[in-house]
Amino acid sequence: MNLQEAEAFFKSYYGSTYLMDAESHAVYDAYEELGVSAEQEDLWRAELADDLLSKMMGDPDNAGSRVAAIVDVVGDMRTGFVDPMKALSDKLEWMLTCNALNHRQRILVLEAMAGSGREDGGIRLAMKAPMLRDRYKRLVVALADFNCEPSDSGNVPGWTNASARYDNAVAACRLAFKRFA
């Protein structure tokens, strides 16, 4: 395996060493033997985050899943996470200004910001950088500034009660801000 192949392999799994090893153990062994530096992996993660941001801007109907992926990728960075997180907040603020996010996408973004109870949400990353703390607090308030409508719920798994999901996401964000303060 050469460095170009290693980069393609790394990016195809969004930098998840767990998935690389679990799904392609032999290729992962070759990747490990190459000895890619942590600094190089962080550069690739930053490129992945940029790519995901571009895709999010072009497809706001999938913003929630893109934000979750960005937070996962950036959360694994050892250094340099501030710039991608600043870019994420810039893009989300712009999308809010343009009213590009529907209620479901806003809920999904709030869930990604809160994380799943572990040390994995966007709020945790923002709170690690003093220059991002207030920015993300304002962003989360803006994301949560809407009332669920009956049309937000539906017969789609996970969306039968959008109002309850919204309430849970907002509460999880508040808890994350307290936990990582």
* pLDDT tops 70 at residue 117: no
Six token digits for residue 31: 């990747």
Rounded Cα gap, residues 161 and 150, in angstroms: 9
Average pLDDT over residues 35-56: 95
Q: Which of 47, 45, 64 is nearest to 56 (CA)?
A: 64
Output the CA–CA distances (angstroms, integers) from residue 161 to 93, 150, 151, 158, 165, in the order listed: 26, 9, 10, 8, 7
Residue ranges of the domains in the chain? 1-36, 49-179
Q: Are 67 and 114 in contact (CB under 8 A)?
A: no
Q: Please count the other Cβ atoms lying within 10 Å of the Cβ belonging to residue 173.
A: 24
* pLDDT tops 80 at residue 164: yes
φ, ψ for residue 2, nearest 5 deg: -105, 180
* pLDDT tops 70 at residue 11: yes
Average pLDDT over residues 17-46: 94
Average pLDDT over residues 60-73: 92
- Mind listing the pLDDT tens digit for each residue in 88-109? 999 999 999 999 999 999 999 9
Six token digits for residue 135: 């920015």
* pLDDT tops 70 at residue 120: yes
Half-sphere exposure of 135 (CA within 13 A, CB side): 19
| pLDDT confidence band for 116 (50 / 70 / 90) | confident
Rounded Cα gap, residues 172 and 125, in angstroms: 15
| pLDDT confidence band for 85 (50 / 70 / 90) | very high
Indicate the DSSP class of residue 153.
Answer: -
Angle between helices 3-12 and 25-34 (to 10 degrees): 130
Q: Are 71 and 121 in contact (CB under 8 A)?
A: yes
* pLDDT tops 90 at residue 118: no
Please name the helix (run of DSSP H) or strand (run of DSSP E) that holds residue 53, with its range, or none.
helix 38-58
Average pLDDT over residues 101-120: 88
Average pLDDT over residues 124-142: 95
- This prediction has a pTM of 0.90
pLDDT at 62: 92
Q: ∠ CA 124-129-133 to the nearest 5 degrees?
A: 70
Average pLDDT over residues 157-177: 94
